């Protein structure tokens, strides 16, 4: 068992879509939910997103609470092929807070020269999420918040690495052509599905936040 508590944050429509088919996701949830999301960031040592989220949204990934937290979380991108743009807000802000790009072993000299830390996590087609979590623990980071997207979330669920899910649901419907909250898990039997227990439900503005823990 890892010594890192892993929380998966999901923000979706009622039909579990995180974006339109073209990737548009700003904003599905209400401003109050987004403020709670910043509180979640502030409560974790590190934040993890996939490269798809960086390319689609160009997030800064800081915790913008009131007041600001005493320490910002480490910002990590799972990016197998080094596609994180030097012009992204993450890379441009590397001088004011730790930014990490986790790769599958390919050298990332240009990003490193921009002040980004490079973690080599596995040597397969994708970043090895178990290796990534081991590196998080080795860096003495005790909590990790995963913010997406669906492929990265599915990788952690598939490996049994998620301890808690914070699921924000907005009262809108996007439809089957929207992007799903989770990528493929490769299940062939319902008995293989991971089981979760609801431990809290909270109304936040027009949205609902459900919190689940692994059974």
Q: What is the pLDDT of residue 163?
A: 97
H-state helical runs in 68-170: 89-92, 109-113, 129-138, 150-158
Task: Select 5-214's CATH number: 3.90.1210.10, 3.40.50.150, 3.40.430.10, 3.30.360.10.
Answer: 3.40.430.10
- pLDDT over 70 for what percent of the chain? 98
Give SS3 for 132.
helix
Given a cut of 50, the residues of the chain with pLDDT beneath it are none
Q: What is the pLDDT of residue 1?
A: 55
Question: CA 98 to CA 86: how far, in whole Å?
Answer: 15
Q: What is the pLDDT of residue 171?
A: 96
Domain boundaries, given as residue ranges, for the chain: 5-214
Q: What is the pLDDT of residue 201?
A: 98
pLDDT tens-digit series, residues 70-85 = 899 999 999 988 899 9
- Could you give the angle at which helices 129-138 and 150-158 cross, rounded to 10 degrees? 80
b/e burial code for range 14-27 (CB count within 10 A of at least 16 → b): eebbbbeeeeebee
Q: What is the pLDDT of residue 79?
A: 92
Whether pTM exceeds 0.75: yes
Q: What is the pLDDT of residue 80?
A: 87
Q: What is the pLDDT of residue 107?
A: 66
Q: What is the pLDDT of residue 139?
A: 96
H or E element in which residue 148 lies = strand 143-148
pLDDT tens-digit series, residues 2-46 = 799 999 999 999 999 998 888 878 889 999 999 999 999 999 999
Q: Answer yes or no: are the C-beta atoms of 169 and 181 closer than 8 Å.
A: no
**DSSP 8-state symbol, 58:** -
């Amino acid at each position: 068992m890892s010594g890192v508590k892993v929380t998966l944050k999901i923000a979706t429509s009622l039909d579990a879509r995180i974006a339109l088919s073209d990737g548009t996701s700003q904003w599905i949830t209400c401003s109050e939910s987004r403020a709670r999301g910043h509180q979640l960031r502030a409560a974790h040592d590190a934040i993890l997103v996939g490269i798809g989220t960086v390319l689609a949204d160009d997030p800064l990934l800081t915790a913008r609470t009131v007041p600001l937290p005493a320490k910002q979380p480490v910002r990590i991108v799972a990016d197998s092929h080094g596609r994180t743009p030097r012009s992204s807000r993450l890379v441009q802000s590397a001088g004011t807070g730790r930014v990490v790009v986790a790769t599958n072993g390919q050298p990332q000299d240009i990003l490193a020269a921009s002040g980004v830390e490079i973690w080599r996590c596995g040597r397969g087609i994708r970043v090895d999420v178990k290796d990534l979590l081991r590196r998080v623990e080795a860096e003495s980071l005790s909590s990790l918040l995963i913010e997406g997207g669906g492929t990265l979330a599915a990788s952690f669920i598939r490996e049994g690495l998620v301890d808690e899910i914070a699921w924000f649901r907005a009262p809108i419907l996007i439809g089957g052509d929207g992007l799903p909250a989770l990528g493929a898990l490769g299940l062939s039997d319902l008995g293989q599905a991971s089981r979760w227990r609801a431990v809290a439900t909270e109304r936040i503005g027009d949205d609902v936040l459900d919190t689940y823990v692994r059974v």
